[in-house]
């Protein structure tokens, strides 16, 4: 079943067509990766899908419902969540509190109750804390729950953002370069976390540069170049596609690469 | 900080503040100090509200005295022009402030950084201008007298009586603010401060939350303004003016942005200082300017967080 | 008709001052991204210092030059001691610093000078000239001419001199400017100095008409800022146009609607511009990258 359907999406920034007629169909429960050289529009595509940008053309359908142009908070309520390439950690809060914000769309108290710390708020806080601890456990951060978020290492912060997004119980999770800046050990941790997420039936859409991670973990790979679709297929198909190598390394480079593989 | 610690801190802070209010008069050399104490708690109440907006939600308001002015003049106009009891006028003022905060907040809270700062500045000044010009209602630039508060036949006029009223109200406002911090709305607000975009993708309706905290902080200021009017017995448009707005922000910054306890510290410093310097009344403005500059340049975190950091450093 | 002409002239006159204040804002904003709320104090210092130095017996022209020099020094000191040490602060923190500086300067002026209104003699006498039925003060013409000269000099400087180009470069991209060898700190010093000087001259020009006092700066700063926002913050021609428009609207509303709410015009404009068209008349909307 197609959970995320992107049709001929386009957006122009001041004369530059950042995304040009891109169509993608993602099936539920998949790990779907979007790759491409720098500037190919991967993060722009994510920003379009997560409602941060509004496209000029095309449509986006989530679980059959047209969601083009909806704001990020509205998409969150429909089960779409994402992490960020440049960390958007809530540094002033503790690790646990970061994840608790992730529970926001499941919390049901109003401002008056909050001000008065009504019993409903006490119960809500407790429920939120429990669910948040569970999310932290899944990414292996349960024992640092009460530390300040600012005290965590980079790789841990990336996992924290994933836990936070998981806490919102998404059906589709967009991970924007989760392994960027991570060393091989941290990347392995990310790999494990993603696999465990997929086991629960959450669809994971990945933008990533780390080719080993992408090839190991993806069910399908979509290649962007200069804002347009270059090709799409299984990891093996994409890996051996000369046009893909050319897009990354240029014509010269791809010739060199061919020679290197001989 | 562990959950247990947070709980203890909240309860502990509330008890500590209530204790301060109760115990302080034992140290008063004379009855005059009740007056200073009352003023401190009145301003501290306004500052707590402003701190929710600036320290937690990370927004800025350089026109908050406008809401104090609305509350103050409501407490005056109600009895004088409508014959309404003072307490009812106070509530009406708070409601009016809330409504105005809603109307003004919706468009301007979309702005960020210095644009928001200037928009709130413009708002505060407009309120002051209206209060100055509508002399028929407000008595114009010279202001108007405010009838004393009367509650069930008890006429509240003494400084000591106002000390207990404003002290109790401050403790109440303090507790409400602490409650808010430890709630879904509070977490959402703090998240907005750190990363609006991340808050949004997690489902936080940022625009609505900002508006909510703006309205709450406006009502805090309005109540404080009403108290000030009823306490002093006289009000002028300066109470809603630019200098007062900057004083409020200075109190927030001094005490520590985001520190509810700091609100009391900031209010204390800037209320007590002019009292200490009555001989040097002329130097007040220059000193206020120097304090604002000094803190924003060198001690941006404010007194309470800086002290807390030093103590944390000792512990290690 | 004569009445309209009267309003136009008084509107242009006060608008010229707003334009100069706005120009000062814009120069500092362009060079350093800071909104300097002490801009109005530069205007106040120009007028008040001239008055008091002249009162001490110094001939007026020399007093004016001294006032400009003093104000320029204050401008540089403001940057060196209050702004530069807090370079990494948020925009709001920087505004608070300039607001603090503004209040500080007011407070000092209150002590060093006094709390009364002061005036300066007009350059060509106080008798109104009759132009088309409207009574125009000669000093109005002086103000308009002075503002025109300053704006032209400013434009020439930015467009024709190397230093002017350096200011533009710093405004466009600070890091890139430093990489090609521009001492951005000196450039910002310079922009503060020039803004202060422009403000001081504006103060000296307008004092014969509008009088001055220790607290005249605050309202001027806000109106100058409203003008800069209206024109598009960061646009020098916008600042000038914005100032003139604001002055005209103020004069018209004072004349035809209510003189009490004259001051409110600027603040209403601030709110309307910020909410409706934040980039102003000549500015460009910024695209944010996430």
Write the secondary structure of A147-211 as one string of H (helix), E (strand) and C (coil): CEHHHCCHHHHHHHHHHHHHHCCCCEEEEECCCCCCCHHHHHHHHHHHHHHHHCCCEEEEECCCH
Which are the contacts of A144, defined by CB distance < 8 A and separation ≥ 6?
Answer: A95, A152, A156
Cβ B58 vs Cβ B192: under 8 Å: yes
Chain C hits for B108, CB-CB cut-off 8 Å, are 271, 274-275
pLDDT of residue B138: 87
Task: Report residue A4 as tokens.
Answer: 């995320």
What number is the average pLDDT over the span C253-281?
83
pLDDT of residue C289: 42
Alpha carbons B123 and B108: distance in angstroms, whole number:
10
Alpha carbons B184 and C280: distance in angstroms, whole number:
38
Instruction: State whether B194 and A165 contact (CB < 8 Å).
Output: no
* φ/ψ (deg, to 5) at C159: -85, -30
In the DSSP assignment, the letter for residue B279 is G
**Chain B, nearest residue to C269 by Cα:** B122
Which are the contacts of B70, defined by CB distance < 8 A and separation ≥ 6?
Answer: B93, B96, B97, B100, B127, B222, B225, B240
Of B3, B186, B204, the CB nearest to A129: B3
CA A247-A248-A249 angle, to 5 degrees, is 100
Residue B18 has pLDDT above 50, yes or no: yes
pLDDT of residue B3: 46
Residue B28 has pLDDT above 50, yes or no: yes
Task: Report residue B21 as tokens.
Answer: 């209010």
How confident is the model over A41-69, as pLDDT tens digits?
Answer: 898 999 999 999 999 999 999 998 999 98
Task: Report residue C63 as tokens.
Answer: 């007093």
- Among left, alpha and beta (phi > 0; psi -120 to 50; other), residue A58 is left
Helix (H) or strand (E) holding B101: helix B86-108
pLDDT of residue B273: 83
For chains B and C, count residue pairs whose Cβ atoms are closer than 8 Å.
125
Alpha carbons C233 and C236: distance in angstroms, whole number:
8
pLDDT of residue B316: 59
With H, G, I as helix, E, B as strand and everything else as coil, classify residue B147.
coil
CA atoms within 13 A on the CB side of A173: 29
**Chain C, nearest residue to B125 by Cα:** C267
Chain B hits for C105, CB-CB cut-off 8 Å, are 289
Alpha carbons A90 and A143: distance in angstroms, whole number:
18
Chain B hits for A79, CB-CB cut-off 8 Å, are none
The residue assigned the tokens 């428009």 is C245
- Among candidates C130, A52, C171, which has minimal Cα distance to A43? A52
Instruction: State whether C290 and A13 contact (CB < 8 Å).
Output: no
**Chain B, nearest residue to C105 by Cα:** B286
Chain C hits for B62, CB-CB cut-off 8 Å, are 95, 99
Residue C131 has pLDDT above 80, yes or no: no
Which are the contacts of B48, defined by CB distance < 8 A and separation ≥ 6?
Answer: B170, B173, B174, B177, B220, B260, B263
* Alpha carbon B282 to its chain's center: 25
Mean pLDDT by 10 residues, chain A (262 residues): 91 88 92 89 91 92 92 93 92 93 91 91 93 92 90 90 94 92 86 91 91 89 90 88 77 62 51
* φ/ψ (deg, to 5) at B243: -60, -40
Task: Report residue A18 as tokens.
Answer: 């950042």
* φ/ψ (deg, to 5) at C132: 60, 35
Distances (CA, A) of A244 to A42, A199, A213, C244: 15, 30, 17, 59
Alpha carbons B269 and B278: distance in angstroms, whole number:
14
How confident is the model over B234-252, as pLDDT tens digits?
Answer: 999 989 999 899 999 999 9
Q: What is the ipTM of this complex?
A: 0.88
Touching C: A residues 4-43, CB under 8 Å: 13-14, 43
Judging by beta carbons within 10 Å of its beta carbon (0-12, 13-18, 19+), is residue B187 exposed, middle or buried? buried
Confidence (pTM): 0.90
pLDDT of residue C22: 92
Instruction: State whether B190 and A165 contact (CB < 8 Å).
Output: no
- Residue B92: pLDDT band (50, 70, 90) is very high
CA C105-C109-C111 angle, to 5 degrees, is 120
- Among left, alpha and beta (phi > 0; psi -120 to 50; other), residue B233 is left
Judging by beta carbons within 10 Å of its beta carbon (0-12, 13-18, 19+), is residue B211 exposed, middle or buried? middle
Instruction: State whether C287 and A47 contact (CB < 8 Å).
Output: no
Between the CA atoms of B25, B30, B32 and B33, what dihedral angle is there, to the nearest 10 degrees?
-30
The residue assigned the tokens 């109307």 is B103
Judging by beta carbons within 10 Å of its beta carbon (0-12, 13-18, 19+), is residue C151 exposed, middle or buried? buried
A126-148 burial: b if 16+ Cβ within 10 Å, else e? eebbebbbebbebbebeebbeee
For the beta carbon of residue B275, count every other beta carbon within 10 angstroms: 12
Instruction: State whether C104 and B285 contact (CB < 8 Å).
Output: yes
Touching B: C residues 207-226, CB under 8 Å: 218, 222, 225-226
Residue B293 Cα, gap to closest chain C Cα (Å): 5
Instruction: State whether B201 and A125 contact (CB < 8 Å).
Output: no
With H, G, I as helix, E, B as strand and everything else as coil, classify residue A222.
strand
- Among candidates A152, A171, A174, which has minimal Cα distance to A162? A174
Chain B hits for A50, CB-CB cut-off 8 Å, are 201
Instruction: Report DSSP letters for A2-28, one per residue.
Output: EEEEEEEEEEEETTEEEEEEEEEEEET
For an interface test with B, give the residue of C39, C74, C96 to mutate (most B CBs within 10 A).
Answer: C96
Chain B hits for C227, CB-CB cut-off 8 Å, are none
A76 touches chain B (CB under 8 A): yes
Alpha carbons A40 and A77: distance in angstroms, whole number:
29
C275 touches chain A (CB under 8 A): no
pLDDT of residue C7: 86
Instruction: State whether B201 and A93 contact (CB < 8 Å).
Output: no
**Chains in contact with chain C (at least 3 beta-carbon pairs closer than 8 A):** A, B
Task: Report residue A239 as tokens.
Answer: 């890996």
Residue C88 Cα, gap to closest chain A Cα (Å): 18
Alpha carbons B264 and B254: distance in angstroms, whole number:
10
How confident is the model over C104-130, as pLDDT tens digits?
Answer: 999 999 888 888 888 888 777 777 877
Which are the contacts of B234, defined by CB distance < 8 A and separation ≥ 6?
Answer: B143, B144, B145, B146
- Among candidates A214, A222, A211, A169, which has minimal Cα distance to A194? A214
More confident residue, C72 or C182: C72
Q: Share the mean pLDDT of chain A.
A: 89
What number is the average pLDDT over the span C143-171?
84
Chain B hits for C290, CB-CB cut-off 8 Å, are 197
Residue C225 has pLDDT above 50, yes or no: yes
In the DSSP assignment, the letter for residue C58 is -
pLDDT of residue B4: 46
More confident residue, C209 or A71: A71
Ranked by mean pLDDT, which of A30-39, B99-108, B115-124 comes out on top? B99-108
- Residue B279: pLDDT band (50, 70, 90) is low
Alpha carbons B269 and B261: distance in angstroms, whole number:
13
Alpha carbons B66 and B69: distance in angstroms, whole number:
5
Residue B7 has pLDDT above 60, yes or no: no
Which are the contacts of B155, defined by CB distance < 8 A and separation ≥ 6?
Answer: B148, B149
Instruction: State whether A111 and B216 contact (CB < 8 Å).
Output: yes
Alpha carbons C207 and C120: distance in angstroms, whole number:
6
Which are the contacts of B232, defined by CB distance < 8 A and separation ≥ 6?
Answer: B146
Task: Report residue C84 as tokens.
Answer: 């530069």
Instruction: State whether B200 and A73 contact (CB < 8 Å).
Output: yes
Cβ A149 vs Cβ A91: under 8 Å: yes
pLDDT of residue B11: 81
Instruction: State whether B204 and A101 contact (CB < 8 Å).
Output: yes
Residue B63 has pLDDT above 90, yes or no: yes
């Amino acid at each position: 079943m197609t959970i995320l359907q992107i049709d001929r999406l386009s957006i122009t920034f001041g004369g530059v067509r950042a995304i040009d007629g891109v169509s993608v169909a993602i099936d539920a429960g998949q790990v779907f990766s979007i790759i491409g050289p720098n500037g190919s529009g991967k993060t722009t595509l994510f920003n379009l899908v997560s409602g941060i940008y509004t496209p000029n053309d095309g449509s986006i359908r989530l679980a059959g419902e047209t969601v083009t142009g909806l704001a990020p908070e509205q998409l969150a309520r429909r089960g779409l969540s994402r992490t960020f390439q440049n960390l958007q950690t809530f540094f002033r809060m503790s690790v646990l509190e970061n994840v608790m914000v992730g529970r926001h769309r499941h919390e049901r108290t109003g401002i008056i109750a909050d001000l008065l710390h009504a019993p409903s708020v006490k119960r809500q806080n407790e429920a939120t804390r429990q669910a948040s601890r569970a999310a932290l456990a899944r990414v292996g951060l349960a024992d640092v729950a009460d530390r300040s978020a600012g005290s965590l290492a980079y790789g841990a912060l990336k996992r924290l953002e994933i836990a936070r997004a998981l806490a919102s119980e998404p059906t589709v999770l967009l991970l924007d370069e989760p392994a960027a800046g991570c060393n091989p050990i941290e990347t392995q941790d990310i790999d494990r976390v993603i696999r465990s997420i997929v086991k629960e039936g959450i669809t994971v859409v990945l933008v990533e540069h780390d080719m080993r991670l992408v090839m190991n973990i993806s069910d399908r790979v979509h290649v962007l170049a200069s804002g347009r679709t270059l090709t799409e297929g299984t990891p093996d198909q994409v890996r051996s596609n000369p046009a893909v190598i050319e897009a990354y390394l240029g014509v010269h480079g791809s010739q060199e690469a061919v020679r290197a593989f001989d | 900080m562990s959950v247990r610690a947070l709980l203890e801190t909240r309860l502990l802070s509330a008890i500590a503040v209530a204790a301060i209010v109760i115990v302080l008069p034992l140290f008063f050399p004379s009855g005059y100090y009740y007056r200073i104490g009352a003023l401190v708690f009145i301003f501290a109440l306004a500052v707590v509200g402003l701190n929710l907006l600036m320290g937690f939600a990370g927004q800025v308001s350089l026109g908050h005295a406008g809401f104090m002015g609305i509350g103050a003049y409501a407490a005056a106009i109600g009895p004088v022009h409508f014959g309404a009891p003072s307490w009812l006028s106070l509530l009406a003022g708070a409601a009016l402030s809330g409504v105005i905060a809603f109307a003004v907040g919706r468009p301007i809270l979309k702005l960020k950084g210095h644009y928001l700062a200037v928009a709130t500045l413009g708002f505060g000044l407009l309120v002051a201008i209206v209060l100055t010009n509508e002399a028929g209602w407000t008595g114009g630039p010279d202001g108007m007298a405010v009838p004393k508060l009367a509650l069930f036949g008890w006429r509240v006029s003494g400084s000591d009586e106002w000390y207990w009223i404003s002290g109790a109200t401050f403790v109440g406002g303090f507790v409400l603010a602490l409650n808010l911090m430890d709630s879904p709305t509070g977490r959402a607000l703090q998240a907005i401060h750190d990363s609006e975009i991340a808050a949004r993708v997690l489902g936080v309706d940022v625009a609505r939350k900002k508006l909510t905290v703006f309205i709450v902080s406006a009502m805090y200021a309005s109540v404080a303004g009403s108290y000030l009017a009823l306490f002093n017995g006289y009000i002028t448009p300066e109470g809603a003016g630019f200098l007062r707005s900057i004083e409020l922000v200075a109190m927030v910054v001094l005490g520590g942005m985001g520190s509810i306890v700091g609100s009391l510290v900031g209010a204390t410093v800037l209320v007590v200082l002019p009292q200490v310097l009555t001989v040097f009344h002329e130097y007040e403005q220059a000193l206020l300017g120097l304090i604002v500059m000094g803190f924003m340049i060198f001690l941006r975190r404010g007194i309470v967080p800086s002290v807390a950091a030093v103590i944390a450093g000792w512990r290690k | 008709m004569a009445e309209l002409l009267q309003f136009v002239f008084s509107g242009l006159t006060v608008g010229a001052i707003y334009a100069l204040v706005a120009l000062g804002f814009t120069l500092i904003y362009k060079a350093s991204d800071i909104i300097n709320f002490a801009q109005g104090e530069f205007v106040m210092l120009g007028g008040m210092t001239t008055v008091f130095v002249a009162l001490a017996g110094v001939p007026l022209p020399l007093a004016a030059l001294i006032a400009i020099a003093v104000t320029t020094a204050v401008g540089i000191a403001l940057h060196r001691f209050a702004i530069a040490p807090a370079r990494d602060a948020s925009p709001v923190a920087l505004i608070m610093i300039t607001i603090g500086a503004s209040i500080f300067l007011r407070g000092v002026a209150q002590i060093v000078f006094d709390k009364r209104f002061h005036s300066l003699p007009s350059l060509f006498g106080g008798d109104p000239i009759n132009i088309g039925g409207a009574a125009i003060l000669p000093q109005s013409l002086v103000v308009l001419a002075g503002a025109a000269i300053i704006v032209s000099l400013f434009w020439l400087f930015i467009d024709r001199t190397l230093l002017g180009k350096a200011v533009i470069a710093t405004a466009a991209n600070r890091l890139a400017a430093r990489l090609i060898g521009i001492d951005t700190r000196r450039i910002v010093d310079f922009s503060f100095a020039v803004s202060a000087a422009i403000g001081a001259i504006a103060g000296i020009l307008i004092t014969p008409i509008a009088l001055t006092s220790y607290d005249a700066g605050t309202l001027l700063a806000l109106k100058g800022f409203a003008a800069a926002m209206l024109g598009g913050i960061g646009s020098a021609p916008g600042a000038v146009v914005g100032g003139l428009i604001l002055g005209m609207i103020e004069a018209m509303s004072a004349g035809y609607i209510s003189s009490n709410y004259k001051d409110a015009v600027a603040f209403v404009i601030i709110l309307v511009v910020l909410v409706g068209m934040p980039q102003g008349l000549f500015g460009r909307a910024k695209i944010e990258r996430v």
